[in-house]
Structure 1
Amino acid sequence: MTKSCHLRLSDIWDFRCHREKSYRQQTKTFVRADGAFITFANDFDMSSVTTSVTGLGEIGDVKVIDLQSSINGLIGRRVVKVGRSSGLTNGIVMAYAFEYNDEKGICFFTDLLVVGENQHAFDLEGDSGSLIILTGQDAEKPKPIGIIWGGTANRGRLKLKSGHAPENWTSGVDLGRLLDHLELDLITSSKGLQDALQDQRFAMAAAINSNVGKCREPSK
């Protein structure tokens, strides 16, 4: 004689809720958000936010390129980047203020021209916007120098050396000039992050008070 088992819909729902709750407790969900566009809530745990670069560590101030001085010290320098698609990669600065006419007769100009080490691509499609960072010398911290905006993925390979095959390359904009033009600062330290958040809170409070004042009816 077999014994039948009867489950009510409420039993199934309770079991399902329990399984989903247990799953949520055992897993962590990560959401990438740009703090420049999304405001952090006042109760957000800022201890989980860091200014260090994954796989590289803490970085120094932005490397400002002096256009009135020789750039020989920049050409040949090693750089790194951490991108969405290709992760941590290494490269060499091959040129600055580079102008090139492609096979279609289209001329383009880039501040930084970077080639990946050991014939590997420095960036892949989807890495645009990644920081280009100069490796540190004499115990100094690595310094941001540029931002990736294109390269082999959208322009094809580039013939850089006579007698050699075309190479993978990456173009980047001069970060120092960009920040100066937009009147922005790059946050590279925990203290700088805390100061920026405090300024953001003051600005939000001032905006709220201003809106409240506009909504009040004038006294008669």
Structure 2
Amino acid sequence: MVFKLYGMGVSTCTQKVVMALKEKSIPFDFININVLKGEQKSPENLARHPFGKIPILEDEDGFRIFESLAIVRYIENLEPNKGARLIPADIKTAALVEQWVSSSVYNFYPSAQGIITERAIKPVAGRPTDEAAAVEHRKKLVPVLDVYDKQLAGHDFFVGNDFTLADLSHLPYFNVINRVEGDLIKERPNLAAWFERCTAKSTWLEVMGFVQGAPKCH
């Protein structure tokens, strides 16, 4: 089965899905949706995603699913035994994975995305950075990262020594943060070691190759 993935190469949510597809060695055709040009709000994309966003995964039967974490869970359920086990079979370990996935959504994402918007997205879009907002987002993110640094002490990934959805749900955002405010990672040794392990994975290097080869958004 060959999937169609609608998204944008530099989109962190798109990268989550690409990483999962690479982990499971699932081929896909990529259809670029340029968010900076508003293509996500086109009638065609609204038919695929009622909120006019990306990414969307579509299979050969026309089945579609949106929301990056929902897509990744679907991919994991298709091929649970290929590549990394993104959701462990053990229910207690799986619960811990979901605990940190939830943390990525509620504790980490709002401030992380705020920094990314101000420091990475706005400059590319030709819009001025709101420095006060960037500083405030950073201030709110710091205690979250301190918790993460403690969590990552003594093991390789968020839940034990295996790469899971808990790590994948964070990785693309940290990749941008490393570029725009990298001291947030470097000042926390356990977090820095985790980031180095994740970005050294062959599948993540494939994701970065995909991003380089994807159509440019500007």
Task: Answer 1 or 2: which has greater strand percent.
Answer: 1
Give the TM-score range, shorter chain.
under 0.3
Task: Answer 1 or 2: which has greater helix percent.
Answer: 2
Whose RCO is larger (CA < 8 A, sep 6+)?
2
Q: TM-score, normalised by structure 2?
A: 0.24
Q: Which has the larger radius of gyration?
A: 1
Q: TM-score, normalised by structure 1?
A: 0.24
